[in-house]
Amino acid sequence: MKKKITDLLPGFVVGLAWIAGVPASDGATATNDWGNYPQGARVILENTVPLHDPLGDRLPLFLWPAHDAIVEDAGLQESIVRDLNARGVAVIASWQPGTDRARSLESGLQVGRIQKRLGLRVCVNANACMYGFYTGDPETAHLDGSGNPFFDDSLPGGKMGCPFRVKHRFDAVREQIAFFVEGYQKAGVAVDFVYGDWEIDGPLEVNRAWDSARRCVVCRQHIVRIDDYRVFQAAVRRARNDATRTCYAEPILKRFPNAMVGNYAVYPNDGHRYWFDYFETMHTDQPHRKEQKAVYREWPNDFSETGYTLAMPVIYPWARIHDWYQFPDSDVRWFHNMLLIASSAGRNTKAATPLVPFVHWQTVFDPDPANDRVRQMSERAYREMLWHSLLRGTDSFFMWCVAEQSAREVRLVHAAWAESLGWRDWLEKGEFLRFDSPVPGHPVVSAVRMNERVLVRRTDFNQDHPEPVEMVVAGQILRVARREGNQVLRIP
Ligand SMILES: [Zn+2]
């Protein structure tokens, strides 16, 4: 996710792609009554249809434009919540600290009360309350050998300081969260889903943070073996996790112990990071393994240190992925990378922890320049990626996009997700059997077992493998024929 919610609201202009001639789906009816809805709510309604299968115990779908579905009028607000809920889409309130926080609290409570009354989950974006550790104050800076403060200039913003000179900021950040959580508690409105996108703030080890730390006398005191990157990374991660656990996760969970609390890009994993965020740069002096030109960084599997109760991996077609691999079919490149992330998160996230990846379909060029050579991922490959993620443990999606992308992004992810509700018993009660990543270009198979039956999905990207894929389940060989869509096989 690149844009902060504060960048997008309230100047939220949605639907440019739709205006430019992308047809709305069947969900657009001539007689709708959405004229006075905010643009974000409208673009969702115009590009989705009401659910065919009930949501049941599944999580709702989280769509970026649903932040722009908050209004002052209570009656109108209820209509918006109801209309989006008919599509399975959650309305998300945003907590804004600062001088207007009382009004932000009231606005959140109004939609929260409606969601409670309708038996829906209360969903919140707490992003703005998570920031405030590195303020640019010299008291948070690294210190060189002469005692002069300095910041790490390898990250945007120029405020990234010392992981061990930030504790005095904890109270201020914790209070930002506590104000809203206490307000909700007092009003009897329990929050169910809280997420943020806390990225370039607080202790962080990426880019050239290691160089800054090695120049800092305080860091050298705290990390005796600082010249070992793994030791440095583990120490900085601990400091980062300590900050977000004590100032964000714990204040929420203390009052609402059943809440799902998570952050963009924080999730259980297999010890590697298969992607780079928009502000991250590649440095081969840090531990990694390579596949063609792709660099998979070693990454601590430290989810438990965060105290989070919600896993949020990031599965985007970043432009740089396209050139990492040499597979002739660009869909194979996108799919291969994205499946690695979905599988790493799916295999390592406990069943009790909801898994809600951030997803996106259109090539993310930031920070890379737009480039015609980078072929857009096909709609089919994206749909298959969403499906294989679901069949490897994903509980719902969080679709991020910029405003002009909304119509297409909403339509694709909603269609695949809504179809999956027809299989919700499998996805809720079944056993996920496969997290493997086949040789790129070979058939991809995911499988979920329920008793003596197995739900499988096979995806081929070429004509090279007409034969069935064999898999062993309960000691029996199952043959997965080449076919589009889901298949149900019986264990003989
Ligand atoms: Zn330092």
The pLDDT tens digits of the residues spanning 324-371 come to 999 999 999 999 999 999 999 999 999 999 999 999 999 999 999 999
- Contact predicate 103/72, CB 8 Å: no
Residues 374-418 have pLDDT tens digits of: 999 999 999 999 999 999 999 999 999 999 999 999 999 999 999
CA–centroid distance, residue 140 to ligand 1 (Å): 9
Q: Which of 239, 233, 229, 39 minimizes the C-alpha distance to 134? A: 239
Q: What pLDDT shows up at residue 33?
A: 85
pLDDT band at 45 (very low <50, low <70, confident <90, very high): very high
- What does the alpha-carbon distance between residue 424 and residue 245 come to, in Å, rounded to a whole number? 32
Find the angle CA(103)-CA(105)-CA(107) to the nearest 5 degrees. Answer: 70
Does the pLDDT value for residue 39 go beyond 80? yes
Query: What average pLDDT does range 187-198 have in this prediction?
Result: 98
CA–centroid distance, residue 212 to ligand 1 (Å): 7
CA–centroid distance, residue 287 to ligand 1 (Å): 21
CA–centroid distance, residue 213 to ligand 1 (Å): 5
CA–centroid distance, residue 81 to ligand 1 (Å): 47
Residues 255-302 have pLDDT tens digits of: 999 999 999 999 999 999 999 999 999 999 999 999 999 999 999 999
Give residue limits of the domains in the chain.
Answer: 5-430
Q: What pLDDT shows up at residue 68?
A: 98
CA–centroid distance, residue 171 to ligand 1 (Å): 20
CA–centroid distance, residue 166 to ligand 1 (Å): 10
CA–centroid distance, residue 241 to ligand 1 (Å): 17
Pair of tokens at residue 113: 């009360």
5-430: which CATH architecture? Alpha-Beta Barrel (3.20)
Please give the sequence-ordered ranges of beta strands (E in DSSP) within 120-189, or none if there are none. Answer: 123-125, 142-143, 149-150
CA–centroid distance, residue 162 to ligand 1 (Å): 4
Query: What average pLDDT does range 431-447 have in this prediction?
Result: 97
Residues 124-165 have pLDDT tens digits of: 999 999 999 999 999 999 999 999 999 999 999 999 999 999
- Contact predicate 387/451, CB 8 Å: no
CA–centroid distance, residue 288 to ligand 1 (Å): 24
DSSP letter for each residue of 353-395: S-B--EE--S-B-TTSPP-TTSPPPPHHHHHHHHHHHHTTT--
CA–centroid distance, residue 127 to ligand 1 (Å): 26
pLDDT band at 16 (very low <50, low <70, confident <90, very high): very low
Query: What average pLDDT does range 229-248 have in this prediction?
Result: 98
CA–centroid distance, residue 223 to ligand 1 (Å): 10
Q: Which of 126, 211, 216 minimizes the C-alpha distance to 166? A: 216
Pairing outcome for strands 142-143 and 149-150: antiparallel
pLDDT band at 186 (very low <50, low <70, confident <90, very high): very high
Does the pLDDT value for residue 8 go beyond 60? no
Three-state SS for 423? helix
CA–centroid distance, residue 133 to ligand 1 (Å): 14
Does the pLDDT value for residue 458 go beyond 50? yes
pLDDT band at 25 (very low <50, low <70, confident <90, very high): very low
Q: Residue 143: what are its φ and ψ, rounded to 5°?
A: -125, 130
Q: What pLDDT shows up at residue 27?
A: 44
CA–centroid distance, residue 296 to ligand 1 (Å): 26
Counting residues of the chain whose pLDDT is more than 70, the rounded percentage is: 93
Does the pLDDT value for residue 12 go beyond 50? no
Query: What average pLDDT does range 57-62 have in this prediction?
Result: 97
CA–centroid distance, residue 264 to ligand 1 (Å): 25
CA–centroid distance, residue 142 to ligand 1 (Å): 4
Q: What pLDDT shows up at residue 29?
A: 44
CA–centroid distance, residue 284 to ligand 1 (Å): 22
pLDDT band at 18 (very low <50, low <70, confident <90, very high): very low
CA–centroid distance, residue 300 to ligand 1 (Å): 20
Q: What pLDDT shows up at residue 28?
A: 44
Q: Which of 361, 354, 372 minimizes the C-alpha distance to 267? A: 354
Q: For the chain, what is the mean pLDDT?
A: 94
CA–centroid distance, residue 170 to ligand 1 (Å): 17
Pair of tokens at residue 358: 């951030």
CA–centroid distance, residue 233 to ligand 1 (Å): 13
Q: Residue 13: what are its φ and ψ, rounded to 5°?
A: -105, 115
CA–centroid distance, residue 220 to ligand 1 (Å): 7
CA–centroid distance, residue 145 to ligand 1 (Å): 11
* Neighbour tally for 118: CB within 10 Å: 11
Burial of 102 (C-beta count, 10 Å sphere; 0-12/13-18/19+): exposed
- Contact predicate 290/352, CB 8 Å: no
